[in-house]
């Protein structure tokens, strides 16, 4: 069975063309019974399962339709949509992945993650992540009225975007030593992640054996995806996948 990997779609009301494109992708996944792995930041901002504003409701329904028709859907938590809870899981039929998840991909042990945990040189972000991912903090935030969460989420996103512009590329990219450490811990030879918006394949040596790191592209402009089948791996655009 083929597996399709996507990341950093950042779906929102501002990108209706990308929303429509993803719905078409889901229909093809549903038709061909492809395993779909969404490695974080499916939404540009997810403030709770009770937020059904466009495109949240539409995407949740499309995911649910694909799951009920036999497609296997896996979703990693991104830095923009880590507040998926039980309602999301039930309506979509998706399995929410751990921060690090190991699968067998063409008989190769493969590590999946969103990618933000690998950016260990971005100390400020890692501190922020530990705070907002704390279960007590998340529970407190989700208990707030939705209109308050929207206001807080909007301001936080604006501050994050401003701080990102002031950081160097080296700080915001993954740390290679962290990659080696994590892959060694999980005993994998292939790592697939997103987050950095810098698609490519990196080949290196790990424990005297060849290893690879595949970085998925974002959907801001390219709409890149990774299709894995018995014939190997292929990077392609959403339009090429639908052709």
Pick the CATH number of 3-242 from 3.90.1150.10, 3.40.50.2300, 3.40.190.10, 3.60.21.10: 3.60.21.10
Burial 129-143 (b: 16+ CB within 10 A, else e): beeeeeeeeeeebee
The answer, yes or no, to whether residue 102 has pLDDT greater than 80, is yes
Q: List Cα–Cα distances, 29 to 63, 74, 122, 156, 214, in angstroms.
A: 10, 12, 36, 34, 21
Burial 89-125 (b: 16+ CB within 10 A, else e): eeebbbebbeebbebebeeeebbbbbbbbbbbbbeeb
At 65 the pLDDT is 93
Average per-residue pLDDT for the chain:
93
pLDDT (mean) for 172-200: 95
The answer, yes or no, to whether residue 23 has pLDDT greater than 70, is yes
The answer, yes or no, to whether residue 230 has pLDDT greater than 90, is no
At 94 the pLDDT is 97
Confidence of residue 1 (pLDDT cuts 50, 70, 90): confident
* Domain ranges across the chain: 3-242
At 165 the pLDDT is 66
pLDDT in tens, 67-83: 999 899 999 999 999 99
pLDDT (mean) for 200-219: 95
At 46 the pLDDT is 97
Q: In terms of Cα–Cα distance, which of 230, 243, 242 is closest to 28?
A: 242
The answer, yes or no, to whether residue 215 has pLDDT greater than 90, is yes
pLDDT (mean) for 136-160: 92
Confidence of residue 16 (pLDDT cuts 50, 70, 90): very high
At 118 the pLDDT is 97
At 220 the pLDDT is 82
């Amino acid at each position: 069975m083929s597996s399709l990997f996507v990341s950093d779609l950042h779906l929102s009301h501002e990108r209706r063309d990308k929303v429509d494109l993803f719905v078409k992708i889901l229909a093809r996944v549903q038709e061909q019974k492809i395993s779909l792995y969404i490695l974080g930041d499916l939404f540009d901002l997810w403030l709770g399962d009770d937020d059904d504003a466009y495109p949240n409701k539409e995407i949740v329904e499309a995911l649910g339709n694909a799951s009920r028709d036999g497609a296997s859907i896996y979703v990693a938590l991104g830095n923009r949509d880590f507040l998926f809870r039980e309602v999301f899981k039930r309506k979509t039929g998706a399995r929410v992945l751990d921060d690090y998840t190991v699968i067998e991909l063409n008989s190769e042990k493969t590590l999946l993650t969103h990618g933000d945990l690998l950016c260990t040189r971005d100390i400020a972000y890692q501190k922020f992540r530990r705070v907002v991912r704390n279960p007590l903090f998340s529970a407190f935030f989700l208990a707030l009225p939705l209109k308050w969460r929207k206001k807080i989420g909007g301001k936080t996103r604006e501050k994050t975007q401003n701080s990102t512009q002031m950081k160097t590329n080296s700080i915001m990219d993954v740390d290679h030593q962290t990659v080696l450490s994590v892959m060694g811990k999980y005993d994998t030879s292939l790592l697939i992640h997103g987050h950095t918006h810098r698609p490519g394949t990196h080949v290196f040596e790990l424990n005297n054996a060849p290893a690879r790191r595949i970085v998925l592209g974002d959907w801001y402009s390219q709409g890149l995806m990774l299709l894995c089948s018995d014939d190997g791996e292929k990077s392609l655009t959403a339009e090429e996948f639908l052709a």
